[in-house]
Structure 1
Amino acid sequence: MKSRHLSCVISASPQSVYAFAADPDNLSAWAAGLATADLRRDGDDLIADSPMGEVRVRFAPRNDLGVLDHDVRLPSGTTVTNPMRVVAHPDGAEVIFTVRQIEVDDEEFERDCRMVARDLATLKQIIEG
């Protein structure tokens, strides 16, 4: 299984980047690779219409460490854990996302990495205005 770490530096405080990214109501604005429309809540889970089909997402509890890890249960039933962090950076904050190659071929993995990179760029654009 391959893993790739993608990151984006955002000119804003880590706390403000985390607060925006951790808010489920903001997900469809910046995370097109995960949520293409408004989310539905089911207890601690979020139900999202994604490019992969309907997925169930559960984020790590809110924390002061910038941890945005989230599990995504795919339409196949497989659960993928996505490590994601917001950390301090000399220019503001850095968002780091680990993409893992699970249930996809090399071409789909590269597509997934491009989608995550676009999502991080969108997050940067929204926060920086």
Structure 2
Amino acid sequence: MVRSAWAGRDWGMRSIHVSRVVAASAEEVYAVASDPDRLPAWASGLASADVVREGDLLHVASPMGKVTVRFVSRNDLGVLDHDVTLPDGTVVTNPMRVVAHPDGAEVLFTVRQLAMSDAELERDAGVVAADLERLAALVERRA
């Protein structure tokens, strides 16, 4: 019998992977999702007002207060990972991808528990799911 060193460990942090298939190409979805000026139109969990740019930093009013966002450089791989610096200085890294899918593209976002309760994690995942729904609607209207 092989026993995994991972079995039974309580790592104290869960992740929830939220995804949404969009009826458009991965390139179209990436173009909209990576445009900072469009964040308020779909990412209500992050940006509730216009984005102020300062180099590669984005300053936005969010439900969490004023935050600073830094996305990875534009790329051909569909990677939209971004760090969010919260008002208290905590930096949260958010993995996000746009990948090809047989029905168009799929957007994947990982929500990490960090210091949240299970209920807060579930609420955050719900906010992300709603944001991805808005992104899909925005892109599909353009297509």
Deviation at 1:79, TM superposition (A): 0.5
2:9 matched to which residue of 1?
none
Matched, 1:96 2:108: yes
From the CA coordinates, give the structure whose radius of gyration is larger: 2
Equivalent AA in structure 1 for residue 55 of structure 2: G
Of 27, 49, 58 in structure 1, the residue corresponding to residue 61 of structure 2 is 49
Letter in 2 for 1:96: L
TM-score (norm 1): 0.97
Pairing 1:21–2:33 present: yes
1:85-112 CA-partner distances (Å, limit 9, x unpaired)? 0000000000000001123222211111
Match of 2:96 in 1: 84
Q: 1:111 maps to what in 2?
A: 123
* TM-score, with structure 2 as normaliser: 0.88
Instruction: Confirm whether residue 63 of structure 1 aligns to residue 75 of structure 2.
Output: yes
For structure 1, the residue ranges without an aligned partner over 5 or more in a row are none
1: CA distance, partners of 2:88 / 2:16: 22
| Number of aligned residues | 129
Query: SS where residue 12 of structure 1 aligns?
Result: coil
Superposition RMSD on alpha carbons, in Å? 0.8
Q: Which runs of 5+ in 2 are unaligned?
A: 1-12
